[in-house]
Amino acid sequence: MKLMKSEEPLPRRAVALILLFCVSEMRAEPARYSVPEETERGSFVANIAKDLGLTGEELLARQARLVPEGEKQYLQLNQHTGDLVVREQMDREELCGQSEPCL
């Protein structure tokens, strides 16, 4: 029985296999947080670093940031600590109008 020699070197195949395992373990899940209407500015919402299993330094290194969907940025992220706080009070009528439910 004759063994066929692969044209691709073993280390390259090993790297591809490791990447496949790493990517298969990755998943994107949206994080959802509730903030009561008209919560005071500076109020703590959550620690994103803790929820993501990261340190504040890792958040900073990855340049984590919040990207608002509208004109106003209602929340603020402290990249050093991972704390998410209210930057500006939210008004349900301003955000959702008369639509129910307002999420």
pLDDT at 47 (0 to 100): 92
Taking residues 32-44, report their average pLDDT: 87
In this prediction, what percent of the chain has a pLDDT beyond 90?
A: 17
Q: How confident is the model at residue 103 (pLDDT cuts 50, 70, 90)?
A: low
* DSSP code, position 60: H
Taking residues 8-14, report their average pLDDT: 58
Cα separation, 68 vs 24, in Å, equals 29
Residues facing residue 46 across a β-bridge = 84
HSE-up of residue 62 (Cα within 13 Å, Cβ side): 12
pLDDT digits (tens, 9 = 90+) for 61-87: 888 888 877 788 888 999 899 999 999
pLDDT at 24 (0 to 100): 47
Q: Which domains does the chain have, with CATH numbers?
A: 38-96 (2.60.40.60)
Cα separation, 49 vs 35, in Å, equals 18
| Contact indicator for 80, 60 with CB cutoff of 8 Å | yes
Taking residues 11-31, report their average pLDDT: 59
Taking residues 47-57, report their average pLDDT: 87
Whether the bond between 9 and the residue before it is cis, its omega within 30 degrees of 0, is: no
Taking residues 41-60, report their average pLDDT: 89
